[in-house]
Amino acid sequence: MKAFVVNKYKDPLELADVPEPVVGERDVLVQVQAAGLNPLDEKIRIGELKAILPYKLPLVLGNDVAGTVIGVGSKVRGFGLGDQVYARPDKDRIGTFAERIAVAEDDLALKPRSVTMEEAGSLPLVALTAWQALVEKGNLRAGQKVLVHAGAGGVGSIAIQLAKHLGATVATTASAANADFVRELGADTVIDYRTQDFEQLLGGYDLVLDSLGGENLEKSLRVLRPGGKAISIAGPPDAAVARELGANPVVRLAVTAMSAGIRRQAKKLGVTYEFLFMRASGAQLGEIAALIDGGALRPIVGRTASFDRLPEALGALERGGIRGKAVITKA
């Protein structure tokens, strides 16, 4: 089958013939019809994460999928031929930039009935990230205040909607051109990151979801109330994440050192810092699908491209300017 492959870190993706997926007894074989593009894909391609995600090359890239079930393992009970499904495969089994992929049953869910295949393909990684940040790690509750950075982006556009569904007051950073858009998603306060300093305008927040890292993360700590929490998907990983990813002791020590500075700053301010590397979860995708079909969440697809244009579409992510997600489609 055809797939886009990373043969060497930093080299361009190459379209290649690869073996058909091996379908285990608890796996589901999915015909790929749509796949979301994520900054994570580019970070893997250039080798930025190889210390904590040491993939064996060549590697089929891709972390989001929506498609149709065309095969099931002998012990699969929850899915059948013809089901329309979506998933973020486990980190050790990525490879959605292909014609077909085998996904563990536990990582798969029926796609929301009310959205297109392209919209479903945009969702898994960003929706799971928002869910695990706000619901699991953040324990966000009604009446609390949350700051979601980059509200017009893939994670931000879902996180704003989820936070409003949970009853929170939501502030976000966005460009002036996207101000009305993020307000439509549910943002109560919009900070123009080009002309305004959110640290000077916000305070007493319970939770921050940071997707930028660096100085943005440091400033985010200072808008939290005592006891508040900053959760980052772009800042330095911490030791807990290294353990979750199965890193060896040497890597764990190195990762712990990387996050020491931001953790010290958080401690001085009486707040906490956590890094989130989202995990696959079919059960959570099932809950997210119910919210989408119930009208609480809607996927945002800002750009689509055909399967054969995938390398160019992935490269375009760095130029920004996309609301929500970019998605590739396979006829």
Do 136 and 113 share a structural domain? no
Say whether pLDDT at 241 is over 80: no
Q: The domain containing residue 323 runs over which residues? A: 2-123+299-329
Do 174 and 101 share a structural domain? no
Answer with the residue of higher pLDDT: 252 or 230.
230
Question: How confident is the model over 48-80, as pLDDT tens digits?
Answer: 988 778 899 999 999 999 999 999 999 999 999
Contact of 312 with 305, CB cutoff 8 Å: yes
Say whether pLDDT at 238 is over 70: yes
Question: What is the pLDDT at residue 69?
Answer: 98
Say whether pLDDT at 132 is over 80: yes
Q: What element of type H or E holds 110? A: strand 108-110
Structure tokens at 15: 């379209």
What average pLDDT does the chain have? 95
SS3 of the chain: helix, strand, coil, percent, to 5? 35, 25, 40
Question: What is the pLDDT at residue 84?
Answer: 98
CATH number at residue 84: 3.90.180.10
Question: How confident is the model over 267-316, as pLDDT tens digits?
Answer: 999 999 999 999 999 999 999 999 999 999 999 999 999 999 999 999 99
Helix (H, G, I), strand (E, B) or coil at 160: helix
Distances in Å between the Cα of 317 and the Cα atoms of 162, 255, 291 are 24, 27, 27
Do 29 and 40 share a structural domain? yes
Do 303 and 270 share a structural domain? no
Question: What is the pLDDT at residue 103?
Answer: 98
Do 134 and 262 share a structural domain? yes
Do 93 and 70 share a structural domain? yes
Q: Is residue 284 part of a domain?
A: no
Question: How confident is the model over 254-267, as pLDDT tens digits?
Answer: 777 888 999 999 99
CB atoms within 10 A of CB 33: 22
Q: Is residue 303 part of a domain?
A: yes
Do 147 and 73 share a structural domain? no
Answer with the residue of higher pLDDT: 179 or 243.
179
Do 16 and 47 share a structural domain? yes
Q: Where are the alpha helices (DSSP H) in 143-281?
A: 154-165, 179-185, 198-201, 214-221, 239-244, 249-258, 260-269
Question: What is the pLDDT at residue 27?
Answer: 98
What value does the mean pLDDT take over residues 94-98?
A: 98
Do 271 and 134 share a structural domain? yes
Question: Count of domains in the chain?
Answer: 2
Do 199 and 240 share a structural domain? yes
CB atoms within 10 A of CB 42: 16
Question: What is the pLDDT at residue 331?
Answer: 64
Say whether pLDDT at 91 is over 70: yes
Instruction: Measure the CA–CA gap between 20 and 171, rounded to whole angstroms.
Output: 46
Helix (H, G, I), strand (E, B) or coil at 190: strand
**Band (28; pLDDT cuts 50, 70, 90):** very high
Say whether pLDDT at 248 is over 80: no
